[in-house]
Amino acid sequence: MTRPHETSLDLVHIGVMAERVGLSLCTVRYYEEMGLIEPTTRTAGGFRLYGPEQEDRLRVLKTMKPLGFTLDEMRELVQLIDDARRAKPGSRHARTLLERIGAVRGEIALRRANLLDQVEATQQVTSALDTAVRHLS
């Protein structure tokens, strides 16, 4: 019934969106300045309004961040996903996109392996602490 033209109903202010995805207002605005994301629209007074697709985008960005990617790389990735969404399946363009996606997946696997290494490394720190504990008691 209620199909108010075209645009979605659940547009939210930056505060709500930031809270939802777990990023600070500052970060979201900075990501916009760096060209990683844009609000769906703005109010007459200039307030940013975000729709659900922006929420997805922000979630992707948030998960990428701790993997040690730079903002440039993160922009590349979300761009890539966007392009893929819009590309004609099976087309020539689609194939080159598939290749780039493969490369990105490789990068992610690498970072993931690094994270696991770091997890193991924590053992060394705790064992250093263990030594201290044994000495003290």
Partner DNA sequence: GTAACGTTCACGTGGCGTCACTGTGC
Partner DNA sequence: GGCACAGTGACGCCACGTGAACGTTA
Interacting residues with DNA (CB under 7 A): 13-16, 24-27, 29-31, 34, 39, 43-48, 65, 70-72
Cα separation of 84 and 76, whole Å?
A: 12
Q: Which of 14, 16, 25, 80 binds its own copies (CB under 8 A)?
A: 80
Burial grade of 77 (CB within 10 A; 0-12, 13-18, 19 or more): buried
Told to check if 104 binds its own copies by CB under 8 A, we report: yes
Residues in binding contact with its own copies, number by CB under 8 A? 41
Binding residues among 31-70 for its own copies as defined by CB under 8 A: 56, 59-60, 63-64, 66-67
Give 71's contacts (C-beta < 8 A, 6+ positions apart): 31, 34, 36
3-state helix, strand, coil in the chain (%, to 5): 70, 5, 25
Told to check if 112 binds its own copies by CB under 8 A, we report: yes
Nearest-approach distance from CB 88 to its own copies, in angstroms: 9
Task: Name the segment binding its own copies (CB under 8 A); options: 11-19, 26-34, 46-54, 118-126.
Answer: 118-126
DSSP 65: G
